[in-house]
Amino acid sequence: MQKKTSIHQNQEILSAFAKAMGHPTRLTILQFLSQRDNCYFGNIHDELPIAKATVSQHLKELKNAGLIQGEIEAPKVKYCINRKNWQLAKDYFEEFFSSIKEAPDCSIE
């Protein structure tokens, strides 16, 4: 009997990062924030052609995954990249892609 492959904690974390990054708007937000030390919600909203509620939902997903962090400075909220998790995501993605073996092209006809 063949042993089943187990799911490791790193894979679960990588999956959460990938899910959070799985929307073009979230990638845009991450790129925008990565070029700054921090940024207020209004500045992020001004960069995107979408409703404030939609921006808030995307920020919530990124924050829940740990890719960004927010701080309330009443009445505003300031966001920035969570540098520790940003590096962790980079490391896990690099590890994942480098572990994939080169395979011959698959041709299905």
- Domain assignment present for residue 33? The answer is yes
- Domain assignment present for residue 100? The answer is no
Please say whether the beta carbons of 70 and 59 come within 8 A. yes
Q: Which of 35, 46, 50 is nearest to 80 (CA)?
A: 35
Q: What is the CATH number of the domain that holds 34?
A: 1.10.10.10
- Domain assignment present for residue 27? The answer is yes
- Domain assignment present for residue 32? The answer is yes
Q: How many domains does the chain have?
A: 1
- Domain assignment present for residue 24? The answer is yes
- Domain assignment present for residue 108? The answer is no
The whole-angstrom separation of Cα 11 and Cα 63 is 19
The whole-number average pLDDT for the span 18-47 is 95
Q: Tens digits of per-residue pLDDT, 62-85?
A: 999 999 999 998 899 999 999 999
- Domain assignment present for residue 54? The answer is yes
- pLDDT band for 3, please (50, 70, 90 cuts): low
- Domain assignment present for residue 103? The answer is no
pTM: 0.84
